[in-house]
Amino acid sequence: MADSAGQPGDDGVRGDRSGRGAVPPSGATAVGRRRRLPWKARSDLTAHQLKRRKLATRGALAACLLCVGAVGYSVGEALTYPGDDSTAARLAGWAREHEMGVVVDKLENLQYRIDPPEVGGSLPSAALARMRATAPPVPVHHQNVPLRAPMRPLVSPGLPGEGVWRVLSAAHGDPVVQGTYVRPDADHTSYQAAIAWISGKKARFELHPGVREPGGTFSVPPNVPEGRRTGLLATWNGGFKVTDGGSRGGFYLGGETAGELRDGAASEVFYKDGSIRIGQWGRDMRMTPDVVGVRQCLDLMVDGGKVVPDIDVDSKWGATDQSRMFVERSGVGVTAQGDVVMVVGQALTARTLAELMQHAGAVRAMPLDMNRAWPSFMSYDPTKNPANPEPTNILDFDNPPERYYNQATRDFVAVYAK
């Protein structure tokens, strides 16, 4: 027969249907309840035990406050460091620096699924005006450097000015830096990609570090300071982060190295004479006394004039499925004549970026950075002030045209007239 404490056979203890354990009957003593707690009631403690508990509690509280303060200080530092990075870019960078890159990637993937790029449609009026503006802003004579022949648009029929090269920066009357605009594919017709071409014979190239990426104490400044802007023609962004291993390569400048230079990595290599080569480290270029800088990022996307066979392998070009996302990307390549082509686009996959660089004449080309905060290409007009030429973004991204006049958080390339 059952008693008031429970059913027959349950020893006076009701079973918890959730499976979490036994629940004491209503008649259990206070002592029985206390024994099930992980600590004793204050009334059961001696004076010595009370003192030890107080010290332990204060120590735990202090440790918690210290952790919260350290995180707060770290985030605060990320939000206030020099440079023009947006708040979102700063927080994402802080998370990646603290081994939370997987979280950032998942958030970016979620954001992309919620708000994917538009399919179809027409270019906005500002983009159309930019595409049509093919008249040179400064006088050029084209004797030594002719304007390039128009590039066949990727979308048919082409729009007025699409694929037509125009002068972006001139030196000694020659259009040393030229640019054009195209729509990247037949589906994403409301977005632009910009292509810049730079004469390898008429320009010299310099690698600059960033304050935070790769950081360190390089002899080269993390910006283009006043007094070193005369003859500046162009700048473009660096690649994936070296310090968290995202670039799968290293950074070398003036005898100092961040990360580790990897054989097989796609590399921009800078030489004492101001020239640049782009190719595979260990095959096309290697360390010699003439090398002053190396910037590695992933692998070549174009090799031997062809898009690489594994261009659709996600693991090669970013986290998870990001290589197939139509997002902002940048890349750089070299032509058979040694000229440089640089591509930035608003809605590109790894494949469409590679195809654009190949279409522009690159025989070897590599990815740089992606997402709105990082790709950039600026040209510079010395007409008003040769010592402080006016910068212009080839496409509108987060950072202002003066990005590299200020202290840059990430590495970049500066191009000067010879």
Give yes or no for residue 63 having a pLDDT over 70.
Answer: no
How is residue 403 annotated by DSSP?
Answer: G
Rounded to an integer, what distance in angstroms lies between the CA atom of residue 380 and that of residue 130? 16
Task: Tell me the pLDDT tens digit for each residue of 279-299.
Answer: 999 999 999 999 999 999 999
- Both tokens of 121, joined, read 């449609």
Rounded to an integer, what distance in angstroms lies between the CA atom of residue 165 and that of residue 379? 14
Give the dihedral sign, CA 74/79/82/86.
positive
Which residue did the predictor score with more confidence, 69 or 242?
242
pLDDT of residue 315: 82
Q: What's the length of the chain?
A: 418
Strands 251-253 and 327-335: unpaired
Average pLDDT for 309-324: 80
Nearest Cα residue to 344 out of 362, 356, 361, 358: 356
Identity (one letter) of the amino acid at 226?
E
Nearest Cα residue to 373 out of 406, 410, 320: 410
Q: How many CB atoms lie within 10 A of CB 279?
A: 20
**What does the angle CA 338 – CA 414 – CA 353 come to, to the nearest 5 degrees?**
60
Dihedral angle, C-alpha 293, 298, 303, 307, nearest 10 °: -140
pLDDT of residue 7: 40
pLDDT of residue 319: 61
Give the dihedral sign, CA 141/236/381/171.
negative
Average pLDDT for 153-175: 94
Rounded to an integer, what distance in angstroms lies between the CA atom of residue 165 and that of residue 152? 11
- Both tokens of 111, joined, read 């954001």
pLDDT of residue 104: 64
Mean pLDDT rounded to a whole number for the chain: 84
Average pLDDT for 323-346: 95
Give yes or no for residue 380 having a pLDDT over 90.
Answer: yes
pLDDT of residue 323: 74
- Both tokens of 351, joined, read 């494949």
pLDDT of residue 242: 95
Average pLDDT for 223-244: 96
Rounded to an integer, what distance in angstroms lies between the CA atom of residue 106 and that of residue 111? 9
pLDDT of residue 132: 95
Question: Cβ distance 339 to 198 under 8 Å?
Answer: yes
Rounded to an integer, what distance in angstroms lies between the CA atom of residue 370 and that of residue 329? 4
DSSP assignment of 170-184, as one string? EETTEEEEEEEEE-S
**Which segments of 39-86 does DSSP mark as H helices, in order?**
47-80
* H or E element at residue 158: none
DSSP assignment of 264-294, as one string? T-EEEEEETTS-EEEEEBTTTB---TTEEEE
Q: Given the structure tokens 């062809």, which residue do they identify?
A: 306
Identity (one letter) of the amino acid at 256?
E
| The overall pTM is greater than 0.85 | no
Q: Of 66-80, 113-127, 384-398, which one has max mean pLDDT? A: 384-398
Q: How many CA atoms lie within 13 A of 234 on its CB side?
A: 30
Q: Given the structure tokens 């640049």, which residue do they identify?
A: 276
Percent of residues in the chain assigned helix, strand, coil, to nearest 5: 25, 25, 50
Rounded to an integer, what distance in angstroms lies between the CA atom of residue 177 and that of residue 379? 8
pLDDT of residue 17: 38
